[in-house]
Amino acid sequence: MITKNYPTRKGTNYEVFARDNPERPLQHIGTVQAENEQLAIAHARFVYSERPWAELIIAPSDGFLDCLRTGKRGVIGIA
Amino acid sequence: MNEKTLNNENLLAEMLCISDTKWVLGHWYAKIILNGRTVPDFSSMAGMSQDELGHTRAMLNYLEQSQGLPEHQLEFGRGVEQVHNMELLDDAPKSWADFVVSVYLAENALWSMQEAYVEGSNRAVANLCKKFAEEGYFHRIYIEGWLAALEGDELAQATKSVHDRLAHARQWFTESTSDNLLGSGERTMSLAQCRDHFEQAVQKLSETLGIEMPASIESTQEWDFVRRRATGSRMPARLWEYVVPTSEVAEMARRPLAVSVKDNIDLFNEKKVKDETAPFFDQ
C-alpha cells in the first residue's frame, strides 16, 4: 500500500459568536479553523455572512476555561 | 469647457480607475477560488470576488446615471483601450505568494485612493467609497493573514513579487500639474497624500516579510493621467476576454440590454443627453 504524507495545515480552532440585535445575548454560531487571528477574523466574516450581524466575535477554542464537563468533578444540568 | 464639465470628466476618469481595478481584482479572486486550501478559503475568496464585482457595478451604475449614459454601457460598451484598470494586475500571478502580494498592493492602493473621497463634497461618491471601505477592511485583514502565514520558498517568491509589482502600484498615484478634484473638494487629499498613505501599507508589508522595499524609480514611459496607465497600454487580450467574454457563445448568453452597446460605442466624445426621468442618487 502506498501512503503519502500530505502536508497538513497548521491551524487553531476559533469559536464564533454573534448577535443580530444589540439587545440580544451573544450566541454561538459555529467554528472556524485558521493559521492566525487575521485569517480567522476574515473566515468568520465570510463564512457566517448569512445575516447583517450587530456584533460578530471570535475566541480561540483553547482559551475557554472548563467549568463543568463530563468526566470532571461536578454535575452537568440540574442536580 | 466650463469647470463643472471638467470636474465631471475628471471624476468620471478617477472613479473608473477605482471601479475598473476592482473589476479586474474581482476576476482575480474568482479565478483563484479553487486554489483555496480549505472550505473557508473558498468562501472567503468567493465573498471577496462578489464584493469587488458588486462595488464595480454599483460605481458603474452611479456613473452611468450621473453622466446620462444608458445602463450597462460602461460594462459592455467600452473597448479594452478605454478601460482604466491598474497595470499591477495585468500579469497573472505566478505563484501563491505572488498572488497574495499582488492583491495586498491592489487592495491597499484602492483603499488609499477611496479614503480621499469618504469626506468629499460629492455625497453619492462618498457613500459608495465608505461602503467599499467597510467591506474592503475584511479583504485587507484576510490578505494580511496570508502574508503572515507565508514561509520558506514562499517568502523568496513574495520578495520577487514585490520587486516586480510595487512600481506599478506606486505609479498609480502619479500627479498631474493641476488637481481639479482636490480644488473642488470632491477629493479631500492630494494624490501625494494618498501615496503617503499607501506607503504606510508598503512599510507594513516590509515588516511582515522582513525585507527592504525597493526605492521608487521614476518611470520613463509616457503616462496617461486619465487611465492611470502608461500611454497606449492595455490589459492583455486573454485577461480582457476573461473579464468581458466576447465569444459568440458568451454573447448569446448575455442578458439583453435596454440599449445595444453597438449604438453607443463612442461613450466619451459623443454629446451626452441626460434622461431627466431616470432615478438618481442624492448628491
Give the CATH number for residue B56: 1.20.1260.10
Residue B48 binned pLDDT confidence (cut-offs 50, 70, 90): very high
- Residue B281, pLDDT score: 62
**Does B86 reside within a domain?**
yes
Residue A4 binned pLDDT confidence (cut-offs 50, 70, 90): very low
Cβ separation A40–B44 shorter than 8 A: no
- pLDDT at residue A70 greater than cutoff 80: no
**Does B13 reside within a domain?**
yes
Instruction: Taking residues A34-56, report their average pLDDT.
Output: 93
Instruction: Taking residues B138-158, report their average pLDDT.
Output: 93
Residue-by-residue DSSP string for B239-281: HHHHHS--SHHHHHHSPPPSS-GGG---TTTSPP---TTS---
Neighbouring CB atoms inside 10 A of B79's CB total 11
Structure confidence by residue, pLDDT tens digits, B106-142: 999 999 999 999 999 999 999 999 999 999 999 999 9
Share of chain B above pLDDT 90, in %: 64
Nearest to B146 among A39, A41, A46 (CB): A39
**Does B197 reside within a domain?**
no
**Does A76 reside within a domain?**
no
Q: How many domains does chain A have?
A: 1
- pLDDT at residue A76 greater than cutoff 80: no
Is residue B40 within 8 angstroms of chain A, CB to CB? yes
- Residue B1, pLDDT score: 45
Backbone angles phi, psi at B257, to 5 degrees: -100, 155
Backbone angles phi, psi at B178, to 5 degrees: -120, 145
How many secondary structure helices (H) and strands (E) does chain A include? Answer: 1, 3
- pLDDT at residue B260 greater than cutoff 90: no
Structure confidence by residue, pLDDT tens digits, B264-276: 545 555 555 566 6
**Does A18 reside within a domain?**
yes
**Does A19 reside within a domain?**
yes
- Residue B68, pLDDT score: 84
- pLDDT at residue B243 greater than cutoff 90: yes
- Residue B214, pLDDT score: 84
**Does B247 reside within a domain?**
yes
Is residue A9 within 8 angstroms of chain B, CB to CB? yes
Q: Which of A7-16, A70-79, B109-118 is predicted least confidently?
A: A70-79
Which has the higher per-residue pLDDT, B173 or B35? B173
Neighbouring CB atoms inside 10 A of A24's CB total 11
**Does A48 reside within a domain?**
yes
Cell 479553487 maps to which residue? Answer: B34
Beta-strand ranges (E) seen in B55-201 are none
Is residue B144 within 8 angstroms of chain A, CB to CB? yes
Domain region containing B148? 3-176+203-215+235-263
Residue-by-residue DSSP string for B108-144: HHHHHHHHTTTTSS-HHHHHHHHHHHHHHHHHHHHHH
How many angstroms separate the CA atoms of B124 and A62, rounded? 45
Domain region containing A26? 12-55
ipTM: 0.77
Which residue of chain B is at minimal alpha-carbon distance from A10?
B149
**Does B193 reside within a domain?**
no
**Does A66 reside within a domain?**
no
Nearest to B145 among A9, A33, A36 (CB): A36
**Does B57 reside within a domain?**
yes
Which has the higher per-residue pLDDT, B72 or B200? B200
**Does B282 reside within a domain?**
no
Share of chain B above pLDDT 70, in %: 88
Q: Give contacts of A40 with chain B, Cβ < 8 Å.
A: 145
How many angstroms separate the CA atoms of B235 and B273, rounded? 30
Which residue of chain B is at minimal alpha-carbon distance from A42?
B142
**Does A74 reside within a domain?**
no
Q: How many domains does chain B have?
A: 1
Is residue A46 within 8 angstroms of chain B, CB to CB? yes
- Residue A75, pLDDT score: 62
**Does A67 reside within a domain?**
no
**Does A47 reside within a domain?**
yes
- Residue A73, pLDDT score: 67
- Residue B163, pLDDT score: 93
Q: Can you say how many angstroms the Cα of residue B21 is from the centroid of all Cα atoms in its chain?
A: 2
Average pLDDT of chain B, as a whole number: 87
